[in-house]
Copies of this chain bind each other. A is one copy, B any other.
Amino acid sequence: MDYVYGPGRNHLFVPGPVNIPEQVLRAMNRNNEDYRSPAIPAMTKTLLEDVKSIFKTTTGTPFLIPTTGTGAWESALTNTLSPGDRIVSFLIGQFSLLWIDQQQRLNFNVDVVESEWGRGADLDILESKLASDTAHTIKAICIVHNETATGVTNNLATVRKIIDAYQHPALLLVDGVSSICALDFRMDEWGIDVALTGSQKALSLPTGLGIVCASPKALEASKSAKSVRVFFDWNDYLKFYKLGTYWPYTPSIQLLYGLRAALDLIFEEGLDDVILRHKRLGTATRLAVEAWGLKNCTQKEEWYSDTVTAVVVPPNIESSEIVKRAWKRYNLSLGLGLNKVAGKVFRIGHLGHLNELQLLGCLAGVEMILKDVGYPVKLGSGVAAASAYLQNNIPLIPSRI
């Protein structure tokens, strides 16, 4: 059953799927149940209420869709827009590219705003587009909060500020797949109309839930949106929400209990402390990269991502060799460079159920691999830089004080 056994734990540092806490594995270790019994609706009700807090929304309506992030994207678009609608969409890496591809294939009129990979969304162009769009032809702005391919975090507060400056009515649709539950994310405050994530990212569950949250304005838009949809139709959900049975089709019982456990862990740690932990992990990783004399794919500090770091390798090194070697020799799973940055970067995912010593083990591994592939790294240098920061910043574990 284990195709490629290696001794000891696998060190999982891809930017998703991420490590699942034992508490969640336990919660999911169960037989199926009749989802039409009173038990599942009762649990679903509290899940829907509690899941709002990870979006920082009180007015949003969440949907727990048995799908992946790609499906969550499709849900966000087809429920709020009609074919031919004009969208402004930012292309800054592989995942925003894939979303744009989907937008185009769903027949929207996509106004692509491209940045160099490693840079954030070009908000000046957004501003100029909104400024000139007095006719309000732009129906939606689509932005990836955190581009997982390059480790770039966009500034959503600024996006909202720009939209507001022009009092533009466009919907703001945000891919929070590698940000929600890990980065500062404020759906209500930032006026996000649809936010979405996947269970296998910072929530630290298996793949299988696309979690989508719609603002009242997005729900209103869904009433007139003409995109064809059935499986992803919010209205089917809303109909069952009203009935109190909640599910238009069979949910995964295991993922519901898993989500319950995952939320409980986040609440126990405190969402803000979870975010601070990711800040520590991101900072430590960047300090190590700097100590190794390597460059972060992310070009400016304002875009640094606390969930994933794409490390640029020297031209004489093929980054996929690093990833292969990590797996073959160290039982370490790193992220490949994708598309435009294939061969040029490797990625360290540092999100989800993860702590500092796990990260330091990974960083120690990366150092050895760099040496393996001929990069003249000083062993221990990255760990030293990261440790110096962490040793000053790790808090005591509250339950153990």
The residues of A with any CB-CB pair to B shorter than 8 Å are: 1-12, 14, 16-20, 22-23, 25-39, 42-43, 66-71, 73-74, 83, 101-102, 105-107, 198, 200, 206-208, 227-233, 248-255, 257, 260-261, 265, 268-269, 274, 277, 327-333, 336, 353-362, 364-365, 367-368, 371-372, 378-381, 383-385, 387-388, 390-391, 394-397, 399-401
Contacts and interface: CB of A to CB of B under 8 A. Distances in A.
A396 B252 CA distance: 28
26 contacts: A2-B23, A3-B42, A3-B43, A7-B277, A8-B355, A9-B9, A9-B355, A14-B34, A16-B250, A18-B32, A25-B31, A26-B30, A67-B67, A67-B71, A67-B231, A68-B249, A69-B250, A71-B231, A105-B229, A106-B228, A208-B252, A356-B365, A358-B361, A364-B383, A371-B391, A384-B384
B29 A29 contact: yes
B17 A200 contact: no
Nearest to A365: B357
Given A8-B353, A379-B384, A387-B367, A400 B230 contact: no
A12 B32 contact: yes
Contacts of A33: 10, 12, 17, 333
Contact of A390 (B1, B22, B268, B368): B368
Count this chain's copies in the assembly: 4
Nearest to A386: B364
A378 B230 CA distance: 47
A102 B18 CA distance: 35
B327 A250 contact: no
Nearest to A261: B1
A255 B309 CA distance: 29
B364 A269 contact: no
B362 A357 contact: yes
Contacts of A391: 368, 371-372, 379
Contacts of A395: 329
A247 to B, nearest CB: 10
A384 B360 CA distance: 12
A371 to B, nearest CB: 5
A345 B267 CA distance: 37
Nearest to A251: B207
Contacts of A261: 1
